A and B are shown apart, each in its own frame.
Chain A
Amino acid sequence: AQRVTQPEKLLSVFKGAPVELKCNYSYSGSPELFWYVQYSRQRLQLLLRHISRESIKGFTADLNKGETSFHLKKPFAQEEDSAMYYCALKGGGFQKLVFGTGTRLLVSP
């Protein structure tokens, strides 16, 4: 069965500090991992996917199959990064998207 775990409900940092939002997954096959973000009063939207190996808004995430992790990182947090972040895994026969419970990132000035 597919499972995504985000251990932190809330992560609070100061502006300019490094950020790491943790995501661990459980899946027997070859997964496709994503990070979605929801800013206040906005829709849930895709932030990045592991197959793209790109940096979006300064965020990066590396898939570590050995540790079954896909942590989201940013070296210097900005106040506009404050949002809910969801890690998601796509897999299975119907390529279903399974979400974690989310981490609220709060960046203070």
Chain B
Amino acid sequence: EAGVAQSPRYKIIEKRQSVAFWCNPISGHATLYWYQQILGQGPKLLIQFQNNGVVDDSQLPKDRFSAERLKGVDSTLKIQPAKLEDSAVYLCASSPEGYEQYFGPGTRLTVT
């Protein structure tokens, strides 16, 4: 089966610009996650969707980050405006409810 797809793989922007990341989960997976992984740290959950509803967004900086999952399938994560400290790898993962999470390749964001 095809894995979790993410695009773009790399993005370089200047601070105060906006950026969007896209994720296509494994078909049939109800739960979708976005993680932020800063260099030297482990992944940190930003937001978790169950179908198209938000389950947990307690660690999402809502003043600049937003995410949506239309129709319970694909998802987009947006940052507007970006700050230098947003430089990180953004990982998308999906899982059948309550089971193992499958990760995408990630998007490496560099904010200059």
Contact = CB atoms under 8 A, between A and B. Distances in A.
Interface string A11-47: 0000000000000000000000000000000011110
B101 A46 contact: yes
Contacts, number: 39
Given A43-B103, A43-B104, A94 B56 contact: yes
Contacts of A97: 33, 45, 101
Interface residues of B, number: 21
Interface in B34-78: 40-45, 48, 55-56
Contacts of B4: 43
Interface string B12-39: 0000000000000000000001000000
Q: State the main secondary structure of chain B at its contact with A.
A: loop
B43 A95 contact: no
A96 interface: yes
A95 B98 CA distance: 8
B43 to A, nearest CB: 5
A45 B103 contact: yes
A20 B23 CA distance: 35
The 4 tightest CB contacts between A and B, nearest first, are A99-B42, A94-B56, A44-B103, A43-B103
